[in-house]
Chain A
Amino acid sequence: ETGVTQSPTHLIKTRGQQVTLRCSSQSGHNTVSWYQQALGQGPQFIFQYYREEENGRGNFPPRFSGLQFPNYSSELNVNALELDDSALYLCASSPPGTAFGYTFGSGTRLTVV
């Protein structure tokens, strides 16, 4: 197992710009989810991908989009950045089955100025 790796670790963007965050999941983990964690709060579910298709979305606007690739990597894209998008973005992956918890990466800290 190689764990879940996210890049970059920190990022500063200007309001209105676009950003792409990347995640490399553990081999065999065909479910990947992205979460937004604002300072001092619990993570909020953005969306989930299963076998390269989105199969669930939280209460986030369409400017948040994603991709999952066959090599267990994935991306989170955010367009038209707003100041409130400043947060820690966490990627989490899970193997097949319903009884397992998710393995989280260390996150990307995004600051929008």
Chain B
Amino acid sequence: GNSVTQMEGPVTLSEEAFLTINCTYTATGYPSLFWYVQYPGEGLQLLLKATKADDKGSNKGFEATYRKETTSFHLEKGSVQVSDSAVYFCALSGKTGRRALTFGSGTRLQVQP
């Protein structure tokens, strides 16, 4: 079945540091890949997505590239801000039939001033 593995947190960085959150997946076929962000007390917000190999999703300075050969979709940002402090979830869904999302366990990011 489908599964997503994320690096465990919390990840603690100083403001303006470089961020990488690792994500690898196991899936049948070629799923769509997503990063969602969850701020305290809120639901999930779609951060970025990629639907095929070598696609790069980007939004708000965050980027992730769909790497089929390594089954990875690592999240990166060149300079984090305090406002980026949240929990980040990597997820995948199939492209046909049931398109349920399979999530990783989440990585908490704490950015200190």
Contact = CB atoms under 8 A, between A and B. Distances in A.
Interface in B55-104: 89, 91, 95-104
Interface of B: 4, 32, 34, 36, 42-46, 49, 51, 89, 91, 95-106
B51 A99 contact: yes
Contacts of A101: 32, 34, 36, 46, 49
A6 B43 CA distance: 10
A106 B32 CA distance: 23
Nearest to A6: B43
B28 to A, nearest CB: 15
Nearest to B49: A101
B104 A42 contact: yes
5 tightest Cβ-Cβ pairs between the two chains A and B: A56-B98, A42-B103, A106-B43, A104-B44, A45-B100
Nearest to A35: B101
A48 B99 contact: yes
B51 A45 contact: no
Interface in A1-15: 4, 6
